[in-house]
Amino acid sequence: MKIAVASGKGGTGKTTLALAMAEAMAEGCTLLDCDVEEPNCHLFVDVEPWQELPVAVSIPEFTDNGDCDGCGRCVRACRFQALARLGKRVLVFPEMCHCCGGCVLACPHKVLREVPFDIGTLQFRHGPGFELISGVMNVGYAMAPPLIRQLKRHIPPEGLVIMDAPPGTACPMVTTVRNNDFVILVTEPTPFGLHDLKLAVATLQETNLPCGVIINRADEGVALIRDYCQEVKLPVLLEIPYQREIAESYSRGGSLLTVFPSLRVSFRTLLTTQIPALLQAEGRL
């Protein structure tokens, strides 16, 4: 089963929860850090990677061999303004390119060809019980989806997979949650938390993905989220109390399970019983 941990708002506790769930499930569980712009799961798994794989995308390269007649078909084919034609020359802006290959196909003179362009690495670590695979995007590159897609190709055929999604509801989040069996939305009981939770729920409705909510820092104002969830018939899976000790432990690279050992059982129940039951009730399993 594949379960993504996502949230519209950043800083709600996705990584804390994804790590704690992977730790609670341990053997046979794989954690994917899909927050490739700012991966941080590995900070809590204090070992060096046993494997690192480079990830490249294909971008066009212009060959100035005199065959270009400046027709501009490549520039018109590009939806991302990644090319500039100057007379009978073409300039390429790799950071703008979405690697669709359209310009190469559009060029009748074969002066554009695809070449690899490094965008990041995949790091593999043996965590405490679980396996961790992190996508690490190169500084200066802004397009996360190609790296996330490469990362997801390493999902093992069996066992539980937990994906720590990038914050927000844009392409990196959608790329991460796509093809998961269930999405856990982490939120906090604040107006911001509620606002961005609504955005995330709307995004998941568009992609027809089942989801449930974990309310983190459940304290004053928790009714705000509970009422909304009840209203839109969204299951509240768990509430994590608001405690300073959790933040202190996190800041030292510690696990949520150290502060709340009882959550180990809660997470196991959630992942092995509660979520499968929800999926079954919806006829998805």
Partner 1 sequence: MKVALTSRGNNLDAALDSRFGRAANFLLWDSASGAVEVLENTQNLNLAQGAGIQSAMRVVENGAKAVITGHCGPKAFRVLQEAGVKVYLTQAKDGHEAIRLFKAGELKEAAAADVEGHWT
The binding site for partner 1 (CB under 8 A) comprises 75, 80-82, 84-87, 89, 91, 93, 96
User: CA 180 from chain center: how many Å?
Assistant: 11
> Residue 275 and residue 281: Cα distance in Å, rounded?
10
Q: Least Å distance between CB 60 and partner 1?
A: 14
Q: Least Å distance between CB 76 and partner 1?
A: 11
| Backbone torsions φ then ψ of 215, nearest 5 degrees | -95, 115
Q: Least Å distance between CB 86 and partner 1?
A: 5
Nearer to partner 1, 130 or 141 (CB): 141
- Taking each helix axis from N to C end, the angle separating 191-206 and 222-231, rounded to the nearest 10 degrees, works out to 30
Nearer to partner 1, 84 or 247 (CB): 84
Mapping DSSP to helix (H, G, I), strand (E, B) and coil, where does residue 102 land? Answer: helix
Is 45 in contact with 125 (CB distance < 8 Å)? yes
Nearer to partner 1, 137 or 143 (CB): 143
Nearer to partner 1, 103 or 224 (CB): 103
Q: Least Å distance between CB 131 and partner 1?
A: 37
Q: Least Å distance between CB 80 and partner 1?
A: 6
Nearer to partner 1, 95 or 282 (CB): 95
Is 242 in contact with 217 (CB distance < 8 Å)? yes
Q: Which helix (H) or strand (E) holds 237?
A: strand 236-241
Q: How many CB atoms lie within 10 A of CB 206?
A: 10
Mapping DSSP to helix (H, G, I), strand (E, B) and coil, where does residue 170 land? Answer: coil
